[in-house]
Amino acid sequence: MFKLKLPTDPRWANIAESNISEILTDHAWCEQKAATNSITLITMLPEYPEIVSELLEIAQEELQHFQQVHEIIKKRGYELGRERKDDYVGDLYKFIVQGSRKDYIIDRMLFAAMIEARSCERFKVLTENIKDEELKVFYKELMISEANHYTTFITFARQLGDPEKVNKRWEEWLEYEAKVIQSYGKKETIHG
């Protein structure tokens, strides 16, 4: 669906499952950052009320996911822990064009779509490979949500720009992300 060029090695799920408290904490902070990203996009697009409305829904859903992960952390007797830096997202951010306002916003949408696509793919790997039944169900639900967010961000990018140019730029994002992700998949973090 996403055309990701380099799939996650299923053994990453074993790494993640070896330290559930860490993967949950990292995941919680990823959800908080996703909500923040949607809010940031809202500030850039006040002239698009329909997009703002959908971004508000995504931000609220991401905060709900944060709350759900936090509840699992508390139920299992873990601590949330401090916010984690997401080097993968930082590496992706470097690829955003700094051209015109419109080009920048379109690339921010593609940046968001890329993160949602990879997160969805990672949740699928967890769903298919971990033994923890509660988390299998949880990550399957979130996988569906992330796929919907990916679709929404791609749709927004195409609405805001020439769809052919956006599709071409998306292919560039896929190529870039494939190079970036080669350095990841070795830690118990969602993108690590």
pLDDT band at 53 (very low <50, low <70, confident <90, very high): very high
CATH code of the domain in which 15 resides: 1.20.1260.10
Q: What is the pLDDT of residues 95-130, one digit of tens each?
A: 999 889 999 999 999 999 999 999 999 999 999 999
Number of domains the chain is built from: 1
Q: Which of 44, 37, 72 is nearest to 58 (CA)?
A: 37
Structure tokens at 84: 């984690």
Whether 175 is in a domain gets the answer yes
Q: What is the mean pLDDT of the chain?
A: 94
Whether 187 is in a domain gets the answer no
pLDDT band at 36 (very low <50, low <70, confident <90, very high): very high
Mean pLDDT, residues 131-154 = 95
Whether 1 is in a domain gets the answer no
Mean pLDDT, residues 44-58 = 97
Residue 13's SS3 state is helix
Whether 84 is in a domain gets the answer yes
Q: Which of 114, 91, 89 is nearest to 166 (CA)?
A: 114
Q: Which region holds residue 77: left if phi is over 0, alpha if psi is between -120 and 50, else beta?
A: left
Q: Which residues contact 179 (CB under 8 A, 6 or more apart)?
A: none
Domain that holds residue 133: 10-182
Whether 33 is in a domain gets the answer yes
Whether 5 is in a domain gets the answer no
Whether 21 is in a domain gets the answer yes
Q: What is the pLDDT of residues 77-99, one digit of tens each?
A: 999 988 888 999 999 999 999 88
Whether 15 is in a domain gets the answer yes
pLDDT for the residue 1: 55
Mutual angle of helices 20-44 and 49-75, in 10-degree steps: 160
